[in-house]
Structure 1
Amino acid sequence: MLTPEQHDRSAAVLLGLAAGDALASGDDFEWSERTAAAVDIALLTADGRDPSEAAVREDLGADGEPEAADPAAATRTAGRRLLRTAPVALALLDDPVALAEAARLVCSGRGTALTDSERSDPSTDRGAGDAAVLFGLSLRVAVLEGRLDALAGLAALPTEVRAIWEAQLTAAGQGRAVDVRRRGTVGGLLQGAWAILGDEGAADASRVERVISRAAQSGADPASVAAAGALLAGRWGLEAVPVAWRRLLHGRLHGRPDLVGVDLVRLGMLSARSGVPHDPDDPARMDVLR
């Protein structure tokens, strides 16, 4: 069972993610297809579906999202892959092992693990799964423990890549240049998020708006700003996200015209309650989930 403080923090994750995405995309609080990818999974996890099940990934059509050849398209795809880890983390807060496994598979864009031949293919983003694990387990620590830790998931990675990830994320957090190519496109976006957060992230909840707004205006990739927003909101809870953002956010042009910021709050809370049987008459349950 989550404490009231943990429930509050879980409720803020998707809201912070969408706010960072929308502000960085410059679309007047319209979240992009990156947030839409996370919302698609959240709609399933909020309804009690287990993201570690293959059937869930099949419902999402994950196998239909191949590696993109064009660099700009590859970055957009990578952003979707990273951000859809957020609802996975919320749904599996009580099981870090299952969280890591599900995050890796959902981020793969295929719904299955990489084969040996795919791992050896230079066009494959081989660091994507590791980045998803790190992001998901960092979100878990933010929600459950109320702290930011870029390396919270390090022990869940293969031994041979831990030192590289530790060095890359530490450097990013300290504002030092990193070679994002070493960890792939998804990994580069995650490093960008921790570069936004810096050593301290935000010293208190009142500074979250400034950190995200400044990052959005800096030209940082929207997926990195969105990931930073999710981590900050997960650390500080709903009070850290301006009420105006909650009212203005929407997904009208990306397949969810019926969803606004407050619905993301409900999705986050319901996803974190995914192990609890749902009552169809629960007033917290949205009609869109029926």
Structure 2
Amino acid sequence: MKLSIHQHDRSSAVLLGMACGDALGAGYDFAGPMPPTAAVGMRGGGGAHWARGEWTDYTALAVPVARAAADGLDLRDESTLDLIVAEWVDWSTTAPFAGTQLAAALSAESGRPDSGRRNSEPTAAAVRRAARDQHERIGRSAGNGCLLRTAPVALAYLHDADALADAARGLSELTHCETDAGDACVLWGLAIRHAVLEGELDLRVGLGTLSPGRRELWSARIGHAERREPRDFTRNGWVVQALQGAWSAIVHTDASDAGHYRRGVEAAVRGGGNTDAVAGVAGALLAARWGLAAVPSEWRRLVQGWPGLRGADLVRLSVLAAHGHDTNDAGERESFRLHVVR
């Protein structure tokens, strides 16, 4: 689809905005809530000893999805999901951290010692089976690890809200079986799409895609987020509270200008808990609303991560993901493949 200049700017900022929020929160992960006036900076550290400005596993898992979208692949196709899973497995063999559900799903295909097997060609079907087995063992699979990788799905389907919802849920269900996980990915993805296209922040825009009962439940959850502060969502390793905490940070900060991006992301970090996830969720949505110039230049210079990319690479990847279905962009996609680490 043909984007306006403003829509193009907003779409190009999504992955960068997410990665900067993720990297900012990494150094404060599970450090506890902070006072509203506490300074927040790109300091690195955290439980996995992230470098200053380094994004975490959340953004890393979004990169293969964005690459597939940039190549014009349909993220709903099983063959595309196989390609994404293969890159996730490659990442997982050296990753410093992966959540319990994700680690269990990918270990069946990665050849890790705890998997008891080694497959040369990972498949989406095998990961789904492993994820279902893990879900049945522990009785839950709605961690927030499925959420941030939905951002490039939103870019890939700016032209088709229904396809976006289908692809977001399908990608979530690769590793996270609970309906809450799929719902959260759909709502966040459609909110990003709306922010890019309309320049508005509205987490309710996707409620109509849910069944009536789920629609009521999520409407109440969004309303609860708007009445509470980010620090109130202490279980934000759960995908529902990760989304609630991010939305709370967004709606409780001054939205009068593009500084809303920085204020909202910092508020998400001050909320405590799983700060990299919550700030990454807030960062993508705020960047989709305010565009590239809203992301602080210091953060843009510092941000970097797996597999050897930097902020400028994420901007180019966002641009291509948003135009991956446009055959006129073949030359631009080829140029990107030549200049960005794959």
What TM-score range do you get, normalising by the shorter chain?
0.7 to 0.9
Kept in 2: contact 1:138–1:231 (CA 8 A): yes
| Aligned residue number for residue 286 of structure 2 | 232
| Aligned residue number for residue 120 of structure 1 | none
| Aligned residue number for residue 47 of structure 1 | 71
Question: Which aligned pairs between 1:40-79 and structure 2 lie closer than 5 A?
Answer: 40-61=64-85, 62=124, 63-64=126-127, 66=131, 78-79=143-144
In the comparison of the two structures, how many residue pairs are matched?
268
Matched, 1:13 2:14: yes
CA distance in 2, matches of 1:160, 1:218: 30
| Aligned residue number for residue 271 of structure 1 | 321
Root-mean-square deviation (CA, aligned residues, Å) is: 2.7
Q: Structure 2 length normalisation: TM-score? A: 0.71
User: Partner of 2:10: helix, strand, or coil?
Assistant: helix
| Aligned residue number for residue 171 of structure 2 | 106
Matched, 1:164 2:229: no
User: Partner of 1:205: helix, strand, or coil?
Assistant: coil
Q: Deviations over 1:75-96 (max 9, x none)?
A: 9x83331011110010001100
- Describe the shift of the 1:215–1:12 C-alpha distance in structure 2 as closer, same or farther (beyond 3 A): same
- Residue 60 of structure 1 and its aligned partner are, at CA, apart by 1.8
CA distance in 2, matches of 1:213, 1:184: 18
1:83 aligned partner, one-letter code: L
| Aligned residue number for residue 135 of structure 1 | 188
| TM superposition outliers: structure 1 runs of 4+ over 4 Å | 176-181, 281-284
Q: Structure 1 length normalisation: TM-score? A: 0.83
CA distance in 2, matches of 1:274, 1:44: 9
CA distance in 2, matches of 1:80, 1:46: 22
Kept in 2: contact 1:189–1:223 (CA 8 A): yes
Kept in 2: contact 1:128–1:184 (CA 8 A): no
- Residue 15 of structure 1 and its aligned partner are, at CA, apart by 0.5
- Residue 171 of structure 1 and its aligned partner are, at CA, apart by 1.2
2:146 aligned partner, one-letter code: R
CA distance in 1, matches of 2:222, 2:10: 24
Q: Deviations over 1:30-65 (max 9, x none)?
A: 000110001111111112112122211121225526
Question: Which aligned pairs between 1:178-193 and structure 2 lie closer than 5 A?
Answer: 185-193=238-246
The more displaced of 148-157 and 213-222 is 213-222
- Residue 125 of structure 1 and its aligned partner are, at CA, apart by 2.5
Higher relative contact order (CA 8 A, sep 6+): 1
Matched, 1:149 2:202: yes
Larger of the two Rg values belongs to structure: 2
Kept in 2: contact 1:19–1:229 (CA 8 A): yes
| Aligned residue number for residue 219 of structure 1 | 272
Kept in 2: contact 1:24–1:220 (CA 8 A): no
Residue identity over aligned pairs, in percent, reads 43
1:100 aligned partner, one-letter code: A
CA distance in 1, matches of 2:190, 2:156: 12
CA distance in 2, matches of 1:126, 1:184: 16
User: Partner of 2:68: helix, strand, or coil?
Assistant: helix
Q: Deviations over 1:149-178 (max 9, x none)?
A: 010100001111111100111110221698
Q: Deviations over 1:67-113 (max 9, x none)?
A: 667xxxx89x8333101111001000110000000000001125xxx
User: Any unmatched runs of 5+ in structure 1?
Assistant: 115-123
| Aligned residue number for residue 118 of structure 1 | none
